[in-house]
Amino acid sequence: MTTEGFIVLDEKTLREYIKKTPSLFSKVGSDDVDKLEVKEVGDGNLNFVYIVTSSSGSIVVKQSLPYVRCIGESWPMTKERSYFEATALKRQYGLSPKHVPEVYHFDRTMSVIGMRYIEPPHIILRKGLIAGVKYPLLAEHMAEFMANTLFYTSLLYLTTTEHKSAVAEFCGNVELCRLTEQVVFSDPYKISEFNRWTTPYLDGDAEAVRNDNILKLEVAELKSKFCEKTQALIHGDLHTGSVMVTHESTQVIDPEFAFYGPMGFDIGAFIANLLLAYFSQDGHAAQGNDRKAYKGWIMDTLADTWNLFHKKFTTLWDIHKEGPGEAYLHEIYNDVELRELVKQKYMTELFHDSLGFAAAKMIRRIVGVAHVEDFESITDPVKRADCERRALDFAKMLMKKRRNFNTITDVISAAQ
Amino acid sequence: MTTEGFIVLDEKTLREYIKKTPSLFSKVGSDDVDKLEVKEVGDGNLNFVYIVTSSSGSIVVKQSLPYVRCIGESWPMTKERSYFEATALKRQYGLSPKHVPEVYHFDRTMSVIGMRYIEPPHIILRKGLIAGVKYPLLAEHMAEFMANTLFYTSLLYLTTTEHKSAVAEFCGNVELCRLTEQVVFSDPYKISEFNRWTTPYLDGDAEAVRNDNILKLEVAELKSKFCEKTQALIHGDLHTGSVMVTHESTQVIDPEFAFYGPMGFDIGAFIANLLLAYFSQDGHAAQGNDRKAYKGWIMDTLADTWNLFHKKFTTLWDIHKEGPGEAYLHEIYNDVELRELVKQKYMTELFHDSLGFAAAKMIRRIVGVAHVEDFESITDPVKRADCERRALDFAKMLMKKRRNFNTITDVISAAQ
Ligand SMILES: Nc1ncnc2c1ncn2[C@@H]1O[C@H](COP(=O)(O)OP(=O)(O)O)[C@@H](O)[C@H]1O
Ligand SMILES: Nc1ncnc2c1ncn2[C@@H]1O[C@H](COP(=O)(O)OP(=O)(O)O)[C@@H](O)[C@H]1O
Ligand SMILES: [Mg+2]
Ligand SMILES: [Mg+2]
Ligand SMILES: [Mg+2]
Ligand SMILES: [Mg+2]
Ligand SMILES: [Mg+2]
């Protein structure tokens, strides 16, 4: 398959590609490229990811093909997503360099990104959560990543000139936005060939979602915000499969869904996936490990993530209160009391947005097309359905009642 | 002044321009261009408008220069606004042809729009309102213009692909958005060299606006919606000076501020300017004409405008409920009761947005840079200040309490 300079890489052509690309070749040393070890590790649904190793170093090369990997050419999907992923990666690396891999190389024609290899013992966070591993710095790091990437790309920091120009550019990533619109905000609420759930146990639950008018009213509001609220450059797919971790390090990858959207969509995605991990734990309990303590750690991490995010985000706002951001001009909002009122109002709306999007993300992982390994790896379907139902019921309540929650502790109490 | 093919037109060069432009020349017939009557009529603040008349027909030629007309070259302003005006005019003409002048010609380099001459007895609506003239079809026509232009450019009718591409294009009109941000949402709430008011009578009132924390909290929310909510292609400057009327006809001109923003900004602009006209009437009362009946007509027109807009807009939504719009997919929102819920929620938020923006527009016309002739033409400053203060107090209340109003009748009662 070739279209105007685009070729699908394989192990052989990748070696040749690296050889003629100095920014990549220099990273793997001066070895004969034939001696490079090439391993395809893409476990995601959409793209191909190669780890390339020589005696002197390793890199990751990610290529997007013009279709959805896990489906095939029958589901076309612009390979231009790679451009938005590279652009977002570079921006996020600039804003939160400790938590984003550096981009070494980007080739728009080939839809190829060369980036830092996030080395072992880093693993995908979702795998760690299933295994019951605690990550003491996870909340701190994720709060930092989200606070930095969201604050600095919002009108709290940007001029409206910078903001509108960035909004316009990322409007180009509409195909990926449409995928989210479909699988998060639409399919779970109607009959769709793509939906699935733990049948027959959840048949009634899936039907109840499709018939729940209040839920559908709420999800419409969330969808409108997703489509119309250009609040910040969001990652767009910030689940626990887009985070790689060790005890000391947290790295956020795969922002190919990035665009200017509501901040709560990122925060909600991460919250949702912690809650899914939480509700799945009973399915992973075993003799001698009831996972009770681990469930406590997940909830502590959830609380810390929001609370630290809140603190870091409002601190950035304070630091830059006389900065370039045009949403709240210092000359107007210089009164101490007023600044507190303004922050409180902003953060409350953001909290409720985050809870709403979290709920939408949970629901779609239980009755929509793409499920999460947290539940999928529970082999006993009765047990799995039981965990999923509790998650689903909680998510439905959360979406409807999100405005009644004032603190993340209240949310956690409701889940326990 | 010349930059790459751009020249500032005057009567002489305009004749030459028309001669070599078939789409314009054909409209004014085959006369010798030297015999064309050319009259500059621009009474607006920004641009030059020429009426060109021959024995066989008339056209209007509007040119934007790279600065603000009423200030001069010291306030630069991209002449590209002409491109957005022409693009919006054509789109709005396509959607509401009875209420928008046809564009005959657009020249991006020259920032020249040639369009239908809106012939006498059409006058600018604001002049009619000051003179106390009733326009029986005004509400109906404005409701139709707003319903058509807002509905068909929103996600209630567009696919997200069409929407995002249009959003991106109009992000380019950022300079005009910034002007609105400054003069509507910022300057009135701080000390600014541009602000003015009927001094000394309103000195305390202007200061009170600058010190009203709750008002500033509310205007921040409205500004965020203006900057971030890409709900529809809005006119962006829909005051009564952008509408030309006769008893039978209503024509909306001058959409150079057009971009994808909140629908309530247009509806609010029109509401605000009717309310300003209402509050100014006492200043125009004269022996034998207390303007009481006219005030009643203005309020009836206000009520009819919103109520007819509501009806027309929701009717369009019903008609196209199985159409291309992607916000509320028919498969999800096909239940009659749910559809009512969804419409009610959408229209209530739109109503409250409209009231909030109306309030902001009223405030800026009393203590901000650009005032309205409705008040300016009241020569006695005591009388004028009195009318303005009542308008200002009402606007402040409206911005703060807008969510408590359920119907336009409630708003009108509060104003009377
Ligand atoms: N920079 C990297 N370093 C190490 N492993 C990576 C890196 N990027 C991706 N991977 C691995 O490849 C997998 C798929 O990558 P991802 O970017 O999520 O692709 P997709 O877009 O297809 O979901 C990840 O789950 C991770 O295991
Ligand atoms: N198509 C038209 N037909 C007749 N008069 C027009 C037309 N367009 C503009 N005018 C006149 O020119 C004035 C200024 O036009 P406008 O488009 O509002 O310019 P500006 O952008 O400078 O405010 C209007 O108030 C109106 O009197
Ligand atoms: Mg991935
Ligand atoms: Mg991905
Ligand atoms: Mg005008
Ligand atoms: Mg205006
Ligand atoms: Mg104008």
**Per-residue confidence in pLDDT tens, chain A, 416 aa:** 447 899 999 999 999 999 999 999 999 986 677 889 999 998 767 899 999 999 889 999 999 999 988 888 888 999 999 999 999 999 999 999 999 999 999 999 999 999 999 999 999 999 999 999 999 999 999 999 999 999 999 999 999 999 999 999 999 999 999 999 999 999 999 999 999 999 999 999 999 999 999 999 999 999 999 999 999 999 999 999 999 999 999 999 999 999 999 999 999 999 999 999 999 999 999 999 999 999 999 999 999 999 999 999 999 999 999 999 999 999 999 999 999 999 999 999 999 999 999 999 999 999 999 999 999 999 999 999 999 999 999 999 999 999 999 999 999 999 99
Give the domain ranges of chain B.
2-116, 123-415
Contact A217/B338, CB-based, under 8 Å?
Answer: yes
Residues of B in contact with A265 (CB under 8 A): none
Q: Is B123-415 a CATH 3.90.1200.10 domain?
A: yes
Q: Are A364 and A184 in contact (CB under 8 A)?
A: yes
pLDDT recorded at residue A313:
99
Q: What is the pLDDT of residue A1?
A: 46
Residue A34's pLDDT is: 81
Chain B residue numbers touching A332 (CB-CB < 8 A): 186, 189-190, 216
**Max CA separation in chain B (angstroms):** 66
Mean pLDDT of B89-107: 98
More confident residue, A155 or B68: A155
Query: What value, to the nearest 5°, has the Cα angle with vertex A142 and ends A140 and A145?
Result: 110
State how far the alpha carbon of B406 is from the alpha carbons of B306, B358, B401, in Å.
Answer: 12, 15, 11
Helix (H/G/I), strand (E/B), else coil: B233? strand
Nearest ligand for residue A253 CA? 1
In a 3-state reduction of DSSP, which class is residue B253?
A: coil
CB contact under 8 A, B228 and A223: no
Q: Tell me the three state secondary structure of residue A39.
A: strand
ipTM for the assembly: 0.97
- A165 vs B181: CB contact, 8 Å cut-off? no
Record: contact A167-B164, CB cut-off 8 A: no
Q: Which of B174, B220, B328 sits opposite A164 (nearest CB)?
A: B174
Using the predicted structure, report yes or no on whether residue B33 has a pLDDT greater than 90: no
pLDDT of residue A31: 65
CATH number for the region A2-116 comes to 3.30.200.20
Output the six-digit token pair for A5: 């300079």
**Confidence grade of residue B1 (pLDDT, cut at 50, 70, 90):** very low
Same CATH topology for A2-116 and A123-415: the answer is no
Average pLDDT over residues B317-346: 98
Percent of chain B with pLDDT over 70: 99
Q: Picking from A360-369, B66-75, B220-229, B342-351, which range would have the lowest pLDDT averaged per residue? A: B66-75
- CA dist A236 and A240 (Å) reads 12
Q: Residue B31: enclosing H or E segment and its boundaries?
A: none
The pLDDT, as a whole number, for residue B31 is 65
CA-A49 nearest atom, ligand 1: 12
Q: B282 vs chain A: nearest CA distance in angstroms?
A: 33
Residues 6+ apart with CB under 8 A from B338: A213, A216, A217
* Alpha-helix residue ranges (DSSP H) falling in A96-242: 125-131, 138-151, 160-170, 174-180, 203-210, 213-228
The per-residue pLDDT for A102 is 98
Distance of CA B171 to the CA centre of its chain: 18
* Mean of per-residue pLDDT scores for chain B: 96
Q: Which pLDDT score, from 0 to 100, does residue A71 have? A: 82
